[in-house]
Amino acid sequence: MTGDVAVLGAGMHPWGKWGRSFVEYGTAAARAALADAGVDWADVDSVVGADTVRGGYPGYVSGATFAQALGWQGARVTSVYAACAAGAQAIDTARARILSGMADVVLVVGADAAPKGFFAPAGGDRPDDPDWLRFRVLGATNPAYFGLYARRRMALHGDTVEDFAQVKVKNAAAGALNPNARYRRAVTAEEVAASAVVADPLRLLDICATSDGGAALVLSGIDFARRHGVADPVRIRAVSTVTPRYPRTVLDLPDIATDSAAAVEPPAVGFRASIARAAYEEAGLGPEDLSLAEVYDLSTALELEWYEDLGLCAPGEGAKLLREGATALGGRVPVNPSGGLASFGEAVPAQAIAQVCELTWQLRGTAGGRQVAGARAGITANQGLFGHGSSVIAVR
């Protein structure tokens, strides 16, 4: 049995601040994906919803929420939560159902309606929750961590605030070409430098916004796709949802302490690098085979780190790769040709799905002005709180 599943359809609700329910965004994305696939809603066997804790009880049972919104038709439902990696886990769950023979067609949906400003923990007192603790003990918002990551890169690798600004310049140029992006305007390095300091050394334009938006995919087996008239579909070849290995010597969200390494040597490969490595091993591909990558640019500095974690360059050489233009549109391996979170902002349960939507359009050759010429293979990468890895490899 092949490990590939076909992407029959991809759909999105544009990102922004629309002031409506996440259900509306996810339903619109689902209908767009079904139309793209040429599949009737009644023919979907299973729905996998990526959860949003900000959507109240309907957000915790998003699979059923979206199934009801589309119209009950008996499909099996699953709801998954893995913070920012929820979309990848939803894709992996859908793939498992297809490859096990339990479903022919699965709809994957994620959507969010985010609050203004940085994310705060869900309500209530939870002293055993590290996400709750870091706010109560340190007052450490997400941008505080982003600033620490940036300072670490500056200290270890010599990255500069000018390097970070160029990531925003690159991604804004791509986002200006994307009709689904929230921010569709080119940005200059001078504008980045003139924006307000949020978490030194990062400024407002170095950090992604919080957004409303939705994304959906229609997945099927390869045989079904062929019977459906799609002889050469985009294929998902690997999904990585790995977790860290003990000990962890570098602080990561949402933790406020590292594991001890006094008696145990750190693992040879760190958590973030292990996310992509697992996907490469499953796909039988390597970084040299990639046409493009969609990565989780919560901040400009974090994008540079993903270059290294994906193996696009050696550790410490992310800024050099950027300066060479290799990761820009027209470069050797464009990163975030969608515009990334810099242009979209975070709609948490949707973003890992949205990354695969972009791979799908790029591999089909239908990405318009941001098209990566001759795209044949792409990878996504992000991570969710509490050690959730997230990487998907798609090929054509």
Domain containing residue 172: 130-205+236-395
Ordered per-residue pLDDT tens for the chain, 396 residues: 458 999 999 999 999 999 999 999 999 999 999 999 999 999 999 999 999 998 999 999 999 999 999 999 999 999 999 999 999 999 999 999 999 999 999 999 999 999 888 888 877 899 999 999 999 999 999 999 999 999 999 999 999 999 999 999 999 999 999 999 999 999 999 999 999 999 999 999 999 999 999 999 999 999 999 999 999 999 999 999 999 999 998 888 999 888 888 889 999 999 999 999 999 999 999 999 999 999 999 999 999 999 999 999 999 999 999 999 999 999 999 999 999 999 999 999 999 999 999 999 999 999 999 999 999 999 999 999 999 999 999 999
Task: Check whether residue 147 and residue 191 sit in a common domain.
Answer: yes
pLDDT recorded at residue 23 = 98
pLDDT at 66: 98
Q: Is 93 inside a domain boundary?
A: yes
Query: 245: domain CATH number?
Result: 3.40.47.10
**β-strand partners of 215:** 12, 110
198 and 226 inside one domain? no
201: preceding bond cis by omega (within 30 degrees): yes
Say whether both 36 and 185 belong to one domain.
no
My answer on whether 28 and 134 are in the same domain is no
The Cβ of residue 288 has, within 10 Å, a number of other Cβ atoms equal to: 8
Q: For residue 122, is it within any domain? A: no
Same domain, 230 and 252: no
Find where tokens 């140029």 sit.
173
Report pTM.
0.97
Looking at the structure, do residues 278 and 387 belong to the same domain, yes or no?
A: yes
> What distance in Å separates the CA atoms of residue 37 and residue 357, rounded to the nearest whole number?
12
Counting the structural domains of the chain, the total is: 2
pLDDT at 309: 97
Residues 173 and 71 in one domain: no
Per-residue confidence (pLDDT) for residue 1, from 0 to 100: 40
Distances (CA, A) of 277 to 273, 336, 337, 392, 393: 6, 19, 22, 11, 11
Q: Are 154 and 224 found together in one domain?
A: no
